[in-house]
Amino acid sequence: MDSSNETPLTISLVHQGALHDDLLAELLEQQGVPFKVVLKGDPVHQGPVALISKSTPEAYLRATQSCGGKKENVLIGEEIVDVETIRHMLGGLQDNKKDNFDLPVNEEGRKLVAAVGKRMSEVGVPLVLKSAWPGDAKACCVLTHDIDFMSFSPFHKVVLRGSDRLSGLARLLFNGAVRRTNYGWNIPETIELEKRYGFRSTFLFMNRYEARDDAYFERSLKLVKDGGSEIALHGSESSHKTVEAMDAEMEAFRERTGSYPRGLRHHILKFQAPETWVLESQFGLEYDATFGYNRFFGFRAGSCLPFHPFTATSRIPILELPTSFMDWTALHRGDDRSRFGEFLRVAKGRVEENHGALVVNFHNTYLNKETFPFVMEEYESLLGYVREKGYWVATAAECAAWWGRRGQEQIEPRMRDDGTILVSARDVSVRTFDAKDSSRLSYPMEAAASPGADSTV
């Protein structure tokens, strides 16, 4: 196809070798903005807009050359977004111990998109964006289960506290004491429930359980594998802070399951930021789903989109999946069922506003209709909700893999003289940005009909 009359719509990010450049790249990737990094010495990339993190004579000159010599089309990142807030949040430095549903990183990302979209609109060209999820789904839901124990007693204080009928409590006590009913395993029932909705989930197993639970462990692995769900690592002890402990965890996991995990969540959400992320990356882990508070709900890093964390000097390769809801948090705090559901509803709302990921953690020990009926009710209600609302439901590994493919997808948007927009989309759907509304993306446009083909949007 003759491309002589096609205007490229990919923006330039002039990289000055600074951390702030990588922070801007992270925001652009999260928001799905097609961009090309221009390093010192690279050939000039011609695009409608060029972005630099801060203005220096050299960077400004290269940026001006990258947008056809038009200085007015050079955008300076630090004048648009609060880069230090982003660095603070994505560096894991937030230590505000409370329920937190604020999303400053995503808000800064939308500001950046709005600035780019506005400038491109003024130039007379559209901004094309990658949709966040497969099929342009409105949001993603990642179902995870920490397997802390293979059994659970009806005599536990959280069960006794939550029992609202004496007859039901008496039955639990009789079955537990006389019949030796195990109310804690629940993995077969969970897999079957998710299967009815067409979903799979991630089960995070520890390497050490009570000897009496060894048989449960082997049966669990087979059930999870046969059901197509993911087996991941639930790191324990000091694996979040030492190479030796992490190495021992990884090898023990491989010996017990037959393969290394693709990702993990540390037990009790043990974490040292950013050191734990660096450590996990050294072992080739694709994702972490730990960063949060086990006593509070919400988004600790200020983002409901997956993100690459940062040290003080660089971006870390591992992807963080931001877990925002855990059943244990409500049970520990003694929240009743109305409060339990309310926190989940708030998380869903924030995720949908930002086309983000709802990463939830429901323990196997609480997914029991007799001991924790309202936990089961909320979980099944969640499954029905995300199916009805058209979420893309994925395992943690599937979510991380998709995010990586999406980031690497070069959709190469360009515009013909007649205004037709072409993209080379393969896996991703695309949108156009409406500059009149800086808080929203426009309706999804049609993506490529076949891999590698050009698509008209």
pLDDT for the residue 423: 85
**Each residue of 116-146: pLDDT tens digit?**
999 999 998 899 999 999 999 999 999 999 9
pLDDT on residue 61: 92
Condensed to tens digits (0 to 9), the pLDDT of residues 17-44 reads 999 999 999 999 999 999 999 988 787 7
Q: Is residue 335 part of a domain?
A: yes
Task: Return mean pLDDT, the chain.
Answer: 88
Q: Mean of the pLDDT values across residues 240-254? A: 97
Residues 81 and 104 in one domain: yes
Same structural domain, 90 and 115: yes
Residues of the chain above pLDDT 90, percent: 68
Q: From residue 227, how far is each of 126, 189, 223, 355, 375 by CA, in Å?
A: 44, 12, 6, 28, 23
Q: Which pair of structure tokens corresponds to residue 295? A: 């006593």
What the block records as the tokens of 288 is 């972490």
> Tokens 């609109």 belong to which residue?
121
Token pair 């038009």 in the structure block, residue:
70
Query: Is residue 255 pLDDT above 90, yes or no?
Result: yes
Pair (242, 378) in one structural domain: yes
| Residue 360 CB partners (closer than 8 Å, separation 6+) | 141, 142, 143, 144, 323, 324, 325, 326, 344, 347, 382
Mean per-residue pLDDT for 172-188?
A: 69
Residues 141 and 123 reside in one and the same domain: no
Asked if 28 and 406 count as a contact pair (C-beta separation under 8 A), the reply is no
- Is residue 453 predicted with pLDDT exceeding 90? no
390 has a pLDDT exceeding 50? yes
Residue showing tokens 């994925």: 394
Q: Could you read off the pLDDT of 286-310 as tens digits, one per residue?
A: 999 999 998 999 999 999 999 999 9
- C-alpha–C-alpha distance, residues 181 and 280, integer Å: 38
Give the mean model confidence (pLDDT) for residues 335-345: 81
CATH number of the domain enclosing 240:
3.20.20.370
Residue-level pLDDT at 158: 57
pLDDT at residue 272 tops 60: yes
pLDDT of res. 31? 97
Give just the sign of the alpha carbon dihedral 311, 314, 317, 323.
Answer: positive
CA-derived radius of gyration, the chain: 24
Does one domain contain both 256 and 239?
yes
Q: In sequence order, what DSSP letters do the residues of 71-89 get, joined into one string?
A: GGGEEEGGGTS-HHHHHHH
Looking at residue 437, its pLDDT comes to 29
| Mean pLDDT to the nearest integer, 205-215 | 88
142: which 2 tokens?
Answer: 């990642």
What is the C-alpha separation between 6 and 416, in angstroms, rounded? 5
Average pLDDT over residues 388-400: 98
Last residue of a domain, one of 373, 400, 427: 400
Rounded distance between C-alpha atoms, residue 352 and residue 76, angstroms: 29
Report the pLDDT value the prediction gives residue 115, as an integer from 0 to 100.
97
- Residue 206: which of 248, 267, 288 has the closest Cα? 267
Q: How confident is the model at residue 431 (pLDDT cuts 50, 70, 90)?
A: confident
- Pair 249, 300 in one domain: yes
pTM (2 d.p.): 0.91
Lowest mean pLDDT: which of 140-154, 155-169, 276-290?
Answer: 155-169
Residue bearing tokens 């629940």:
186
Task: Please report whether residue 163 resides in a domain.
Answer: no
Print the domain residue range for 389: 136-150+185-400
Higher-confidence residue: 205 or 178? 205
In the chain, pLDDT over 70 holds for what percent of residues? 87
pLDDT > 80? residue 175: no
Apex 159 CA angle, 154 and 164, nearest 5: 115
The answer, yes or no, to whether residue 256 has pLDDT greater than 90, is: yes
Please answer whether residues 67 and 48 qualify as being in contact, where contact means their C-beta atoms are separated by less than 8 angstroms. Answer: yes
430 CB-near residues (< 8 Å, 6+ apart): 128, 129, 130, 131, 411, 413, 423, 444, 445, 447, 455, 457
Would 159 be classed as within a structural domain?
no
Residues 313, 339 within the same domain: yes
User: Are 259 and 376 part of one and the same domain?
Assistant: yes
The one-letter amino acid code at 40 reads K
Q: Please provide residue 329's backbone torsions phi and psi, each rounded to the nearest 5 degrees.
A: -60, -45
Mean pLDDT for the stretch of residues 81-87: 96
Confidence of residue 160 (pLDDT cuts 50, 70, 90): very low
45 vs 114 pLDDT, higher one: 114
Residue 25 within a domain? yes
Distance of alpha carbon 292 from alpha carbon 399, whole angstroms: 18
Structure tokens at 256: 């017990």
Based on the fold, state whether residues 372 and 239 are members of the same structural domain.
yes
My answer on whether 352 and 215 are in the same domain is: yes
pLDDT, average across residues 147-168: 62
Of residues 418 and 100, more confidently modeled: 100
- Which amino acid is located at 5 in the chain? N
Examine the domain organization and report whether 234 and 317 are in the same domain: yes
CA atoms lying within 13 Å on the CB side of residue 198: 9
Domains identified in the chain, total number: 2
* Confidence (pLDDT) at 45: 74
Are 193 and 186 within 8 A, CB to CB? no
Judge whether residue 318 has pLDDT over 90.
yes
pLDDT at 210: 86
Q: Considering 359, 376, 400, which residue would you say is the last residue of a domain?
A: 400
* 283 lies in some domain: yes
pLDDT at residue number 86:
96
Lowest mean pLDDT segment, chosen from 170-184, 263-277, 378-392: 170-184
* 347 and 378 together in one domain: yes
Instruction: Give the model's pLDDT for residue 154.
Output: 58
Query: 171 in a domain, yes or no?
Result: no
What SS3 class is residue 314?
A: coil
